[in-house]
Amino acid sequence: MLSDKMLKALNSQVNAEAYSSYLYMSMSAYFESIGLKGFAHWMHMQAKEETIHALKFYNYIHSAAGRVTLKQIAGPPTEWKSPVDVFEDTYKHEVKVTGLIHDLVDLAIKEKDHATNAFLQWFVTEQVEEEESANDALQKLKLVGDDRSGLFMLDREMATRIFTPPPGMEAPAV
């Protein structure tokens, strides 16, 4: 059984993951608007992944006999100066989410909630990948700089991203 404090924190994380999905859809829309469909695709796949993360928390709360309480999702930014700015924001956002996950782990340990701690370990590992992926794209964009042909080559690479949901989670329509 989840403590009230743990339940509140997990519900907040459902909201944070839903916001992440919303943010990446906004970034996808931005890339579509400037003709970088490969980057738009990459962000669309990222949004799907974040939706799965929200659903994993949602399902866990129910399986632990808790009640999910959904809150309003804040509106994300809609404009950026450049693709580099988008990925700088992406990387910063993933670092923030990593902090939220670590805070949840710390709370689970404090509450002696071993089941939730075990559940959260998947996210601890996942956030290493999330930060690495965002930072890799950011570093490539910085290397390309103002080279338009390099940007279009990178756009083509970004279009190849494939989303594979974790076992037991079907991909939602996003």
Structural domain contains residue 164: no
CA distances from 168 to 6, 52, 61, 65, 70 (A): 24, 11, 16, 19, 23
User: Which pLDDT value is given to residue 59?
Assistant: 96
For position 169, what pLDDT does the model report?
77
Residue 169 in any domain: the answer is no
Q: Which of 66, 39, 44, 63 is nearest to 137 (CA)?
A: 39
Q: Which amino acid is at 32?
A: E
Is 71 part of a structural domain of the chain? yes
Q: Convert the pLDDT of each residue in 140-163 to its tens digit.
A: 999 999 999 999 999 999 999 998
> What is residue 171's predicted lDDT score, i.e. its pLDDT?
52
> What local confidence, expressed as pLDDT, does residue 170 receive?
63
pLDDT at 103: 98
- In this predicted structure, what is the pLDDT of residue 107? 98
Range of the domain at 100: 4-158
Residue-level pLDDT at 165: 82
Residue 167 included in any domain: no
CATH code of the domain covering residue 80 = 1.20.1260.10
* Residue stretches of the chain with pLDDT short of 70: 170-174
Does residue 74 sit within a domain?
yes
Is 146 within the bounds of a domain? yes
Sign of the dihedral through C-alpha 71, 173, 46, 119:
positive
Q: Is residue 41 part of a domain?
A: yes
**Structural domain tally of the chain?**
1
Q: Give residue-wise pLDDT tens across range 22-36.
A: 999 999 999 999 999
